[in-house]
Amino acid sequence: MKIKAISTAAVLAALTFAAPVVADEDAELVINGDIEIVTKTAAPEHLSDVMDEILSGWRFRSDETQAMEMDDFDNPGMLGAEEGMALFEASWGSEGKACADCHDGPESLSEVRATYPKWNEGAGEVRTIQMQVNDCLTTKMGADAEKYDSGKMLNLEAMLASVARGTPVNVTIDGPAAATWEQGKEIYYTRYGQLELSCANCHEDNYGNLIRADHLSQGQINGFPTYRLKNAKLNGTHSRFKGCIRDTRAETFSPGSPEFVALELYVASRGNGLSVEGPSVRN
Per run of 10 residues, the mean pLDDT along the chain (length 283 residues) is 40 44 72 98 97 97 96 98 97 95 95 98 98 97 97 98 98 98 98 95 94 88 97 97 94 97 98 98 95
Return the pLDDT at 212: 74
Q: 282 labelled as ligand-binding?
A: no
Domain boundaries, the chain: 35-281
Give domain 35-281's CATH architecture.
Orthogonal Bundle (1.10)
Return the pLDDT at 226: 98
Q: 246 labelled as ligand-binding?
A: no
Q: 212 labelled as ligand-binding?
A: no
Q: 102 labelled as ligand-binding?
A: yes
Phi/psi class of residue 244: alpha, beta or left (left: φ > 0; alpha: ψ in -120 to 50)? Answer: alpha
Q: 136 labelled as ligand-binding?
A: yes
Pairing between β-strand 280-282 and β-strand 210-211 as defined by DSSP bridges? unpaired
Cβ pair 60, 223 in contact under 8 A: no
Which residue in 38, 160, 161, 244 is the catalytic one?
244
Q: Is 84 a catalytic residue?
A: no
**Quick one: how far is CA 7 from the chain centroid?**
30
List phi, psi (to 5°) of 106.
-55, -35
Q: 202 labelled as ligand-binding?
A: yes
Return the pLDDT at 165: 98
Return the pLDDT at 23: 57
How far are the Cα atoms of 36, 57, 186, 204 from residue 182, in angstroms, in the given order? Answer: 32, 24, 6, 17
Q: What is the pTM of this model?
A: 0.91
